Amino acid sequence: MTLGTTREAAPSTGGRVSTDWWRSAVVYQLYIRSFADGNGDGVGDIPGIRAHLGHLVDLGVDAVWINPWYPSPMADAGYDVSDYRAIEPAFGTAAEAAAMVGEAHAAGLRVLLDIVPNHTSAQHVWFRDAVAGDAAARARYIFRPGRGDGPPNDWKSVFGGRAWTQVPDGSWYLHLFDPGQPDLDWINAEVVTEFESILRFWFDRGVDGFRIDVAHGLAKAPGLPDVGDEPEELLSGGHRPDHPFWDRDEVHEIYRGWRRVADSYPDPKVFVAEAWVGSSERLLRYLRPDELHTAFNFPYLNAAWDAAALRSVIDDSLETFSTIGAPATWVLSNHDVVRHVSRLGRPHGDGGRHSLATLPPVETLDRELGTRRARAAAVLMLALPGSAYIYQGDELGLWEVEDLPDEVRQDPTWERSGHTDVGRDGCRVPIPWSGTAVPFGFSPPDATAAPWLPQPADFSGVTVAAQAADPGSMLALYRAALHLRRTHPALGGGGEPAWRDAPDGVLRFDREPGFSCIVNLSAAPTALPAGAQILLASAALTAAGELPVDGAAWLQLA
């Protein structure tokens, strides 16, 4: 039976046990702060998730990945964890989290959490003890004496500025991200043991897996040598072999240990790596059979809206991953990058530059064009073999909110870049659910606070309620595509794609049995194969029955 063709309870609730559901799963990235606010304080929370699980079921996804929900001072929106075994009070309670996991399972959804192993919060008890002078605690982090009056080496923080901060006794600690996120020292056995225990803590509570934050950053070169000159880019990794902190070979031993933990459970527990590395060969190393199950395929996210570029990424990913039988994983957006409507709607459909600091200015954005391309990009992505990630709001066609007032910005990038990079808040604006006025159903009617980031007035046209009633909406397209993906035998775990001849700028591949996907990235409408029946199209055909520019369709072949 093809995986995911029917919706049944997830294994931990006693339903069908499919050991490899993750190979073709569609996973919904739930950015908790911005998904739905149940208690009216303007911040999304677990009661909000519980009230809206129906949206995910109607959408037709297989699993959710919830961004960090642990206690945190929020120096980096929860990626600064102060207690890995508890729930941030602003998001809810442990009991609510347990109930949510149970309800998701009963609705047929698997639940992935986010684990943040590269760094803790500076408020984590380990780090507080370390700063207070406890030697054992200090040895869990990377403290070093300075070089002269300056820091121990030349490493820069991903958010801007140097990667070292001095403590009162004169020594410095490493933070590849914000000073509120001190890097752990993974050479220390206590760190290794602690994280394996954290994994077990959540697995024992029914969680089905983890997205691993900065999976490529945990190991640092002995002696912490200078990195020298290199382009500074958010979360960039793997620029050169033997980089002092990105994608070092030593990280793999950590994941072998994690895999042993996962495999000690009878139902499958899975990992997806956030690993920004230099090539698919490097990525493959994370997916060896005794390491992680999947890793985000960022080259697809980075690809320009160009037939040759997309085809080459697809071929490269499928070929490379198939050498070890790992599934490819497709993703268009997440909470760290400019929403793809706003990337693809810029000149050249620039995919590779995904921060507002490097993209062409907003005056060059054609949002209608970006939306058209986003529809086609989703249709293409969901036709590919492997697993796919949908970032909340993709299904509504949300765009980057580029005119947030400076005073509401919360991404540390804004401050640390000296106000030269506005950062990632524009893709994190709360979801519009219903109604015609702020907060568009994000918070309850009696809310005491406005949404933590202001929603633009034109969200009123793209609420879930408005789109659910419109068969031509982005939401309707996603629902139809995900329904077909579950029911069509060629999709999800079906046959391998085979490219077919097509005019320049047009991509067409077939999958057995009888399925074809066609995407028109050329400058003119393109004919469909004779006798094909349209299963789904991102855009209306032209009067001559052709697929318009920037359109994509799924076809049943005669």
| Residues binding ligand NOJ (CB under 6 A) | 76, 79, 116, 177, 213-214, 274, 335-336
Question: In angstroms, what is the minimal distance from the CB of 472 to ligand NOJ?
Answer: 33
Query: Any idea what DSSP says for residue 128?
Result: H
Question: In angstroms, what is the minimal distance from the CB of 79 to ligand NOJ?
Answer: 3
Q: Is the CB of 21 or the CB of 276 nearer to ligand NOJ?
A: 276
CA distance 77 to 69: 10
Q: Is the CB of 116 or the CB of 374 nearer to ligand NOJ?
A: 116
Sheet containing strand 515-520, strands side by side: 498-499, 506-511, 515-520, 552-556, 533-537
Q: Is the CB of 79 or the CB of 433 nearer to ligand NOJ?
A: 79
Question: In angstroms, what is the minimal distance from the CB of 123 to ligand NOJ?
Answer: 15
Question: In angstroms, what is the minimal distance from the CB of 181 to ligand NOJ?
Answer: 6
The pairing of strands 143-144 and 172-174 is antiparallel
Q: Is the CB of 21 or the CB of 286 nearer to ligand NOJ?
A: 286
Question: In angstroms, what is the minimal distance from the CB of 149 to ligand NOJ?
Answer: 28
Q: Is the CB of 274 or the CB of 550 nearer to ligand NOJ?
A: 274
Query: Any idea what DSSP says for residue 315?
Result: H
Question: In angstroms, what is the minimal distance from the CB of 273 to ligand NOJ?
Answer: 11
Question: In angstroms, what is the minimal distance from the CB of 34 to ligand NOJ?
Answer: 13
Q: DSSP letters along 69-104, please?
A: -S----TTTT-S-S-TTS--TTT--HHHHHHHHHHH
Short-list 413, 333, 421, 337, CA closest to 158: 413
Q: Is the CB of 274 or the CB of 510 nearer to ligand NOJ?
A: 274
Short-list 353, 429, 363, CA closest to 396: 429
Residue 421 and residue 412 in contact, taking contact as beta carbons nearer than 8 Å: no
Question: In angstroms, what is the minimal distance from the CB of 78 to ligand NOJ?
Answer: 8
Q: Is the CB of 24 or the CB of 157 nearer to ligand NOJ?
A: 157
Beta-carbon contacts of 197 under 8 Å, excluding residues fewer than 6 positions away, are none
Tell me the two tokens of residue 487.
């029911």
Q: Is the CB of 320 or the CB of 334 nearer to ligand NOJ?
A: 334
Residue 297 and residue 330 in contact, taking contact as beta carbons nearer than 8 Å: yes
Question: In angstroms, what is the minimal distance from the CB of 427 to ligand NOJ?
Answer: 10
Q: Is the CB of 67 or the CB of 473 nearer to ligand NOJ?
A: 67
Residue 299 and residue 338 in contact, taking contact as beta carbons nearer than 8 Å: no
Q: How many residues does the chain have?
A: 558
Question: In angstroms, what is the minimal distance from the CB of 65 to ligand NOJ?
Answer: 11
Question: In angstroms, what is the minimal distance from the CB of 198 to ligand NOJ?
Answer: 16
Burial zone of 73 (CB within 10 Å; 0-12 exposed, 13-18 middle, 19+ buried): middle
Q: Is the CB of 301 or the CB of 464 nearer to ligand NOJ?
A: 301
Q: Is the CB of 334 or the CB of 516 nearer to ligand NOJ?
A: 334
Instruction: Pinpoint the alpha helices (H) of 286-444.
Output: 298-302, 307-322, 340-344, 367-381, 412-416
Question: In angstroms, what is the minimal distance from the CB of 30 to ligand NOJ?
Answer: 14
Question: In angstroms, what is the minimal distance from the CB of 116 to ligand NOJ?
Answer: 6
Q: Is the CB of 121 or the CB of 463 nearer to ligand NOJ?
A: 121
Q: Which residue's entry shows tokens 């697995």? A: 203
Q: How many CB atoms are closer than 10 A to CB 460?
A: 16
CA distance 518 to 520: 7
Q: Is the CB of 50 or the CB of 140 nearer to ligand NOJ?
A: 140
DSSP H or E run through 406: none
Residue 91 and residue 50 in contact, taking contact as beta carbons nearer than 8 Å: no
Residue 375 and residue 538 in contact, taking contact as beta carbons nearer than 8 Å: yes
Residue 280 and residue 386 in contact, taking contact as beta carbons nearer than 8 Å: no
Residue nearest to ligand NOJ (CB): 79
Give all strands (DSSP E) within 209-368, no chain letters: 209-212, 270-273, 294-295, 329-331
388 Rama sector, left if φ>0, alpha if ψ -120 to 50, beta otherwise:
beta
